[in-house]
Chain A
Amino acid sequence: ILNVEQSPQSLHVQEGDSTNFTCSFPSSNFYALHWYRWETAKSPEALFVMTLNGDEKKKGRISATLNTKEGYSYLYIKGSQPEDSATYLCAPSDDGNNRKLIWGLGTSLAVNP
C-alpha cells in the first residue's frame, strides 16, 4: 500500500451540520482500514477498524463504510458538535505480518458553535 488520500483537507461547519470525509487507498494487499480521531495535544484515538468489504460501523453520531474492491472508505458525522473538532486520519494496513499503518494526511474538522 503506497498512497493514501483523504479529502477534504480541512472543513469548517456549523454546529448541527452533518459531514463526511473520504479516504481512498490502493486495494491490493489490503488487510484492514483504521480511522483515528486526533485532537491537539492528545493521543490518536481509534474510532473504527474495518476489514470486510461492505463493512459499516457506527459509534454514536459517527459511522464509517468500507469498499475494499474500489479502495475507499467514508466517515460520516451526524449533527456535528464543537467537541468533534479534531483531525480525522485514515490508515490502511497491509496483509503483511507487521500490520503497520500507512497514514493519510487527515481531514481537519472545525465545528463552530
Chain B
Amino acid sequence: DTGVSQDPRHKITKRGQNVTFRCDPISEHNRLYWYRQTLGQGPEFLTYFQNEAQLEKSRLLSDRFSAERPKGSFSTLEIQRTEQGDSAMYLCASSVIAEQFFGPGTRLTVL
C-alpha cells in the first residue's frame, strides 16, 4: 500500500494521559501536514513540515502539543496531559506540490 497511513486508527484515553500518533506519508513526499477535525466542524490546520523542518504551527497547537518529523519521513504528534476538548479526528496529509493525500485519521476520545 503506497498511501498515507496513520496509527492508531482509534485511541481512547483518560484525561491527563499523554498520547502519541504516528503518520507515514507517501514515500518521497516532502510536505507533511497535520489537521484536526472536531464534531460539526471542517478540518483545521495544525502544523506543517517540509522535510524535517517544522515551518508553521497553528495557534490551535497549544504547548501541550508537539510534532516531529525527525528524518523527514514519518511524523509523530504527541498530546500531553490530554483534555476532553482534545477529542477529535487527527488527520495527516502529504504532498509534493499542491494535491494533498490524506491518511484515514486517528480518532481520539478523551474520557
Residues of A within 8 A of B (CB): 4, 31-32, 34, 36, 41-46, 49, 51, 89, 91, 93, 97-106
Contacts and interface: CB of A to CB of B under 8 A. Distances in A.
**Interface size for chain B: under 10, 10 to 19, 20 to 34, or 35 or more residues?**
20 to 34
A100 B102 contact: no
Nearest to A106: B42
A100 B48 CA distance: 8
B26 to A, nearest CB: 12
Interface stretch (B13-21, B62-70, B71-79, B91-99): B91-99
A97 B48 CA distance: 10
B27 interface: no
Contacts of A89: 42-43
A37 to B, nearest CB: 11
Contacts of A100: 33, 45, 48, 56
Nearest to A89: B42
Contact of A99 (B44, B91, B95, B103): B95
Interface of B: 3-4, 31, 33, 35, 40-45, 48, 50, 55-56, 91, 95, 97-105
A64 to B, nearest CB: 14
Nearest to A104: B42
A99 B55 contact: no
Nearest to B46: A100
Contacts of B42: 4, 89, 91, 103-106
B11 to A, nearest CB: 15
A44 B45 contact: no
A85 B102 CA distance: 19
A43 B102 contact: yes
Nearest to A90: B42
A100 B102 CA distance: 13
